[in-house]
Amino acid sequence: MAVNLLLGLQWGDEGKGKIVDVLTSKYDIIARFQGGPNAGHTLEFDGIKHVLHTIPSGIFHKNAINVVGNGVVIDPVIFKKELDNLDKYNIDYQSKLLISRKAHIILPTHRILDAASETAKGKAKIGSTLKGIGPTYMDKTGRNGLRIGDLELDNWKEKYRNLANKHESMIAFYNVDIQYDLPELEKEFFEAIKVLKSLTFIDSEEYLQQAQNDGKSILAEGAQGSLLDIDFGTYPFVTSSNTTAAGACTGLGVAPNKIKEVFGIFKAYTTRVGSGPFPTELFDETGERMAKIGNEFGATTGRPRRCGWLDLVVLKYAVQINGVTQLMMMKGDVLSGFDKLKVCTKYNYKGKEIDYLPFSIEEENVTPIYDEVEGWEEDLTKMTSEDQFPENLKKYIKYIEDFIGVPIKVVSVGPDRKQTILR
């Protein structure tokens, strides 16, 4: 059986968690391949909203196995909180949650380093979620990191101490005013490690290979979005991992030729949380209305998300980089009631019209060029089939499909599991 891959095509928060949950019944294994608790994946069913940060979004289904892959960075403290939440709903995670021995661990000092780095940047800050993601991936590539598999060794605390000591000198080097109580943070960290150690650690690349040999189906769940990719995103305003398709290969040990479908998720408009360029951003009441109706607040930090029109230049770029085979359009319901909708089809880049993503999409270089389409009035949230869609929504869908050249196979019309229309 093949491995399918699901990832975000914009700046994150496209609705990945919701769709992974919807698709889980078709898969044996759901596997996260990168990122960490900077992610906030929201699932809604039976009137309850759940937010997952590190645990794959298949966890609420009875039979699926959920794997946290080697490319993920894990904060034991946040992981424990996620488990505590699952306990409230009697989810039996012990039997179906497996963690890669090669996944790296976020130390309390990684979080402090994140805060120190952001404070030192002043106005140029990334707008990080401050979960220690950047510093942990820096230690990974710098070959200093502490991994899940290390927790099985007798000397792991020594390794921990060496790394934490190094971090303390780095924090001092930043010379910024950040208050923290390390002994208190460590107490919480060591308690959480105990809980983490009660779970099953695996050699996940071997496990996933065996699963493929046994004909099991695997869905790889991306975090963040393609424009936050460390290589292909709006650098430096990005996260520290490869959020694009290649990240699934390195983050799980799955070979590129084993990946079959690539599901690309996008919002019917665009949002971004944190700093960095966003050509179609709206600063007027249209943007405010999207934010209000779309309830655009970060699932991890609660920060308001910036909103704007759909950017097809961005979408086309992300589809290309990822080899997307099917599109999924989320939050179309939020656009009901707009007389006209704008879609960005080109950029004016330093005085020239271009239709690709250039080196810099900063405001001083890029002005979006829009096409305008008719909006629709109807409330979509109770619709259960495409036949009920207003004509102008059908036209909007067709417009995007024609522009990108990839079919939209799922249209989401609300946050609930049930508000999902397959085409």
The least CB distance from residue 128 to ligand GDP, in Å, is 16
Is 355 a known active-site residue? no
DSSP 305: P
- 40 forms part of the interface with Mg ion (CB under 5 A): yes
Identify which of residues 127 and 149 has a Cβ nearer to ligand GDP in the complex. 127
Helix H or strand E segment including 64: none
Stretch 326-365: interaction string toward ligand IMO, x if CB under 6 A: ----------------------------------------
Collect all residues with Cβ–Cβ distance below 8 Å to 360 and sequence separation of at least 6.
277, 366
Q: Are 298 and 292 in contact (CB under 8 A)?
A: no
Task: Verify binding: residue 230, Mg ion, rule CB under 5 A.
Answer: no
- Shortest Å, Cβ 194 to Mg ion: 29
Binding partner selected for residue 129 from Mg ion, ligand GDP, ligand IMO, none, CB under the kind-specific 5 to 8 Å limit: ligand IMO
Count the Cβ atoms, other than its own, within 10 Å of residue 46.
9
| Residue 61 tokens, joined | 């289904």
| Radius of gyration, alpha carbons of the chain | 21
User: Which two structure tokens, joined as six digits, stand for 285?
Assistant: 């009441």
Strands 408-412 and 326-330 turn out to be parallel
Taken in order 392, 393, 398, 399, the sign of the CA dihedral is positive
Print burial letters for 224-252: b (CB count within 10 Å at least 16), e (below 16): bbbbbbbebbbeebbbbbbbbbbbbbebb
By CB under 6 A, tell whether 117 contacts ligand IMO.
no
Return the residue of 129, 136, 212, 270 that touches ligand IMO, per CB under 6 A: 129
- Annotated catalytic residue within 41, 50, 110, 167: 41
Q: Rounded distance, CA 5 to CA 251, Å? A: 12
For residue 313, which amino acid is it?
V
**Count of residues of this chain found to bind ligand IMO when the rule CB under 6 A is applied:** 25
- In the DSSP assignment, the letter for residue 227 is G
Cβ–Cβ under 8 Å, residues 109 and 49: no
Binding stretches for ligand GDP (CB under 6 A): 8, 12-18, 39-42, 44, 294, 299, 330-331, 333-334, 412-415
Q: Which of 71, 108, 134, 247 lies at the binding interface for ligand IMO (CB under 6 A)?
A: 134
Q: Which helix (H) or strand (E) holds 399?
A: helix 391-404
Residue placing its CB nearer to ligand GDP in the complex, 10 or 345: 10
The stretch among 11-19, 203-211, 247-255, 375-383 that binds ligand IMO (CB under 6 A) is 11-19
Active-site residue, 53 included: no
- Which tokens is 246 given? 């290649």
Q: Is 414 in the site for ligand IMO (CB under 6 A)?
A: no
Assess whether the previous peptide bond of 236 is cis (omega < 30° from 0). Answer: yes
Does the footprint of Mg ion cover residue 9 (CB under 5 A)? no
Give the footprint of ligand IMO on residues 291-320 (CB under 6 A). 299
Q: In terms of CB distance, is 219 or 393 closer to Mg ion?
A: 219
Burial of 98 (0-12, 13-18, 19+ CB in 10 A): buried
- Looking at the Cβ atoms of 75 and 396, the one nearer to ligand IMO is 75
Q: In the complex, what is the shortest distance from the CB of residue 54 to ligand IMO, in angstroms, rounded to a whole number? A: 10
**15 interacts with, out of ligand IMO, Mg ion, ligand GDP, none, CB within 5 to 8 A per kind:** ligand GDP
**Between 36 and 40, CB nearer to Mg ion:** 40
Binding flag, residue 40, ligand IMO (CB under 6 A): yes
CB burial of residue 301 (10 Å; 0-12, 13-18, 19+): middle
Q: Among 33-41, 78-86, 284-292, 328-336, which window interacts with ligand IMO (CB under 6 A)?
A: 33-41
| Residues involved in catalysis | 13, 41
Residues that bind ligand IMO (CB under 6 A): 8, 11-13, 35, 38-41, 126-129, 131, 133-134, 223-225, 228, 237, 239, 273-274, 299
